[in-house]
Amino acid sequence: MKLKFSAFKLLALACLSASCCCGLAAETIKVGVLHSLSGTMAISETSLRDALLFAFDEINKAGGVKIDGKSYMIEPVIVDGASNWPLFAEKAKQLLEEDKVAVVFGCWTSVSRKSVLPVFEKDNGMLFYPVQYEGEELSKNIFYTAEAVNQQATPAVDYLLKQGKKKFYLIGTDYVYPQTTNLILYKYLMLHGIVLGDIGGGLRKDAEGKVISAGKYTPFGHTDYQQIVAEIKQFAASGDACVINTINGDSNVPFFKEIATAGLSPSDCPVVSFSLAEDELRALPTKDLVGELGCWTYFMSLTTPENRQFLARWNRWLRDETHPGVVKEKRAVDSPMVLSYDGAYLWKAAVEKAGTFDVDKVRETLESGDISFSGPGGKNTMQKNHHTTKNVYIGETRANGQFKIVKEFPQVEGEPFLLKDLDAKLAALTK
């Protein structure tokens, strides 16, 4: 599935006409959008496409990407990864080799990112990846506007520890992001004095007895959580327990419905989710989830002037836009959407400073530490390690599907590599 939107071409022609009158030259530049618009991940990824279209429209309306007196209008080439990880690689190759895009914004799951990574490295393409992930990776061809583990999972655990929680049940979808994140959290919890018996979900060890996996896992699209929730309820019966949830996609709907059916309340056993935000909450019975937790680098409920202005522009865009497939009613904005939006502006700033769309020169500019964008969640600065410095927030779910912000960690630097340091600290404790 590949869509090229005539609205962008019409806008480009309008800007071209206007700039000709002013003696300036306007051209177009193709950028790729690679997300699941169908399948189990469409519940989350379709909105990221919409956030990118919004950013591109804003940029084009403001005159496009400007290099050496020329204005380049963004022409998006949108392809559907269809929640099919090998297909993501095929679509990435198409965008880079056939469509000749200057940059790609896309992927949600880590398995889709890892599927496309060899394609971007082979073709020297550039990918902006906007969704929280497990870290332990650094590619010269990927820029991670996403939350690293130390910008989401470990701050959430720190918050829960300070709230007096002593038992942690780990559950997620069966793929690399939940598995690696929960392995990090298992070691992080051990380092903070949580004993093995108080980490729920199970452990898997190698032949030498080393823990290589922690937590309970279900496949993508899983719907039957009755037995698992019964296990969680038993685990939480003694009190001071919580759940760390890294379930992805539409499986969150049956999971939380089962949590509500079982009568597990946030006061009994709060659930903190790392892949569930305002956009997905639209499909859940939020009146039953009041008090459940999220940890992100943006919440729609932020009361800053920047966020209020952003939301006003977003709502106007929804009212006026004409792109196929964009849902206009009952929309919400969440962190992955905002990090997609921020990524478009970080790329634009780097291109304009570099004075070229050349991937190597844009990469060098992004790695300089001088490229920032003040978005609706706060200032976002690209680091040399391809991750960003940004604010981190913890929120409690409200009945209206929004979050009450209960904690802020300002300007946290993204650190992708945590396992080696945790292993060293745990080894030191056993000496």
Helix (H) or strand (E) holding 106, with range, is: strand 104-106
How far, rounded to the nearest angstrom, does the alpha carbon of residue 165 sit from its chain's CA centroid?
A: 26
d(C-alpha 346, C-alpha 354), whole Å: 12
Residue 124 CA, distance from chain mean position: 23
Q: CATH number of the domain that 33 lies in?
A: 3.40.50.2300
* pLDDT at 159 > cutoff 70: yes
Range of the domain at 402: 150-300+393-430
- Indicate whether 207 and 313 sit together in one domain: no
Q: Report residue 284's pLDDT band, with 50, 70 and 90 as the boundaries.
A: confident
Is residue 191 located within the same domain as residue 322? Answer: no
Residue 180: Cβ within 10 Å count: 22
- DSSP H or E stretch at residue 216: strand 216-218
pLDDT digits (tens, 9 = 90+) for 213-246: 999 999 999 999 999 999 999 999 999 999 999 9
Residues 318 and 426 in one domain: no
pLDDT score of 11 more than 60: no
Residues 386 and 405 in one domain: no
So what's the pLDDT on residue 217?
98
User: Are both 205 and 282 inside the same structural domain?
Assistant: yes
Q: Which residues make beta-bridge pairs with 296?
A: 393
Q: Are strands 203-205 and 211-214 parallel, antiparallel or unpaired?
A: antiparallel
Q: What is the pLDDT of residue 2?
A: 45
Q: Are 415 and 378 in the same domain?
A: no
Asked whether residue 56 falls in the same domain as residue 29, the answer is yes
What's the confidence (pLDDT) of residue 89? 98
Query: What is the tens place of the pLDDT at every residue in 285-322?
Result: 888 889 999 999 999 999 999 999 999 999 999 999 99
Q: What percent of the chain has pLDDT over 90?
A: 88
pLDDT tens digits, one per residue of 86-103: 999 999 999 999 999 999
Look at residue 287 in the predicted model and tell me its pLDDT. Answer: 86
380, two tokens: 């976002």
**What is the value of pTM for the model shown?**
0.91
182 within 8 A of 248, measured Cβ to Cβ:
no
Same domain, yes or no: 233 and 110: no
Q: Are 380 and 151 in contact (CB under 8 A)?
A: no
Tell me the C-alpha distance between 71 and 55, whole Å: 16
More confident residue, 288 or 394: 394
Residues 183, 79 share a domain: no
Distance separating alpha carbons of residues 362 and 127, to the nearest angstrom: 12
Residues 170 and 95 in one domain: no
pLDDT higher than 80, residue 136: yes
Q: 43 vs 4, 240, 300, CA distance in Å?
A: 22, 33, 18
Q: Return the pLDDT at 249.
A: 87
Number of structural domains found in the chain? 2
Residue 117 has pLDDT above 50, yes or no: yes
